[in-house]
Amino acid sequence: LAKTTQPISMDSYEGQEVNITCSHNNIATNDYITWYQQFPSQGPRFIIQGYKTKVTNEVASLFIPADRKSSTLSLPRVSLSDTAVYYCLVGFSGGYNKLIFGAGTRLAVHP
Amino acid sequence: EPEVTQTPSHQVTQMGQEVILRCVPISNHLYFYWYRQILGQKVEFLVSFYNNEISEKSEIFDDQFSVERPDGSNFTLKIRSTKLEDSAMYFCASSGDTSLSSTDTQYFGPGTRLTVL
């Protein structure tokens, strides 16, 4: 499974756009990039998944450059409730495949 | 929206006792998982389960642990003789619908907080 590197923590303010970048230099051809969000004492929650270029849903956007060695999760206009830990995972997200979580990025949104 | 549910939300037990953590995965999902998260640490994979048998297990999942799908809806994790270091949040997850896509998302339950005294 590809190793991922992301910042340990980030700070932002309400209403700002937040971009969290994840490096995955040894991503395999068949790997997908998936982001999860976790609030304290809750289970991880799926945010978005992509393979290449750009993916957008009602919550976030995921930007993946052509070489796929990194990806950026973009959260538009964050609110206090977006304060959480965000995990970047690379590989198959489903089927029989386990998820390998790193330490994630702890995002703190301030008033 | 369908969701994974887990009971109990909090379980307190004495060291050496057996505990059973229960999960109801999303109906029509085919793959089931248990993960744990010790306070302040990473989420760790324990075991995956498909077609009524274990697909993969981690080194954490030793002989003290077992999983079962006793009926068509429940998925359980049993710890036979709990140790202090088993204290953690235990998350159940499920994925996979009838299309069996390799990109099926894993959906997590809210977790059971296990406290071993």
pLDDT (0 to 100) of residue B7: 97
CB pairs under 8 A between A and B: 73
Please state, as a whole number, how many other Cβ atoms lie within 10 Å of the Cβ of residue A21. 15
Q: From first to last of the 117 residues of chain B, give the pLDDT tens digit.
A: 779 999 999 999 999 999 999 999 998 888 999 999 999 899 999 999 988 999 999 999 999 999 999 888 899 999 999 999 999 999 999 988 655 555 568 899 999 999 999
Interface of B with A in 53-112 (CB under 8 A): 55-56, 58, 89, 91, 93, 95-96, 100-111
pLDDT (0 to 100) of residue A106: 97
Residue A98: closest C-alpha in chain B? B45
pLDDT (0 to 100) of residue B72: 80
| Contact criterion met (CB < 8 Å) for A94 and B108 | no
Q: Which residues of B touch A92 (CB under 8 A)?
A: 102-103
| Contact criterion met (CB < 8 Å) for B95 and A98 | no
* C-alpha–C-alpha distance, residues A95 and A72, integer Å: 25
pLDDT band at residue A95, thresholds of 50, 70 and 90? low
Chain CA centroid to CA B116, Å? 17
Q: Which residues of B touch A93 (CB under 8 A)?
A: 95, 103-106
Contacts of B107 (CB under 8 A, 6+ apart): A46, B3, B4, B26, B29, B93, B94, B95
* pLDDT beyond 60 at A86: yes
pLDDT (0 to 100) of residue A2: 65
User: For A1-42, what is each residue's pLDDT tens digit?
Assistant: 568 899 999 999 999 999 999 999 988 888 889 999 999 989
The stretch A59-87 carries a mean pLDDT of 96
Among A46, A49, A97, select the one facing B107 at the smallest CB separation. A46
| Contact criterion met (CB < 8 Å) for B104 and A94 | yes
The answer to whether A50 and A33 are in contact (CB under 8 A) is: yes
Best of B37, B100, B102 to substitute, by most chain A Cβ atoms within 10 angstroms, is B102
pLDDT (0 to 100) of residue A92: 63
Q: How far is A57 from chain B (nearest CA, A)?
A: 15
pLDDT (0 to 100) of residue B103: 55
pLDDT band at residue A93, thresholds of 50, 70 and 90? low
| Contact criterion met (CB < 8 Å) for A46 and B55 | no
pLDDT (0 to 100) of residue B93: 95
The stretch A54-76 carries a mean pLDDT of 95
pLDDT (0 to 100) of residue A96: 62
Identify the bridge partners of residue A63 per DSSP, sorted by sequence position.
A54, A72
Handedness of CA B56, B61, B66, B71 (dihedral sign): negative
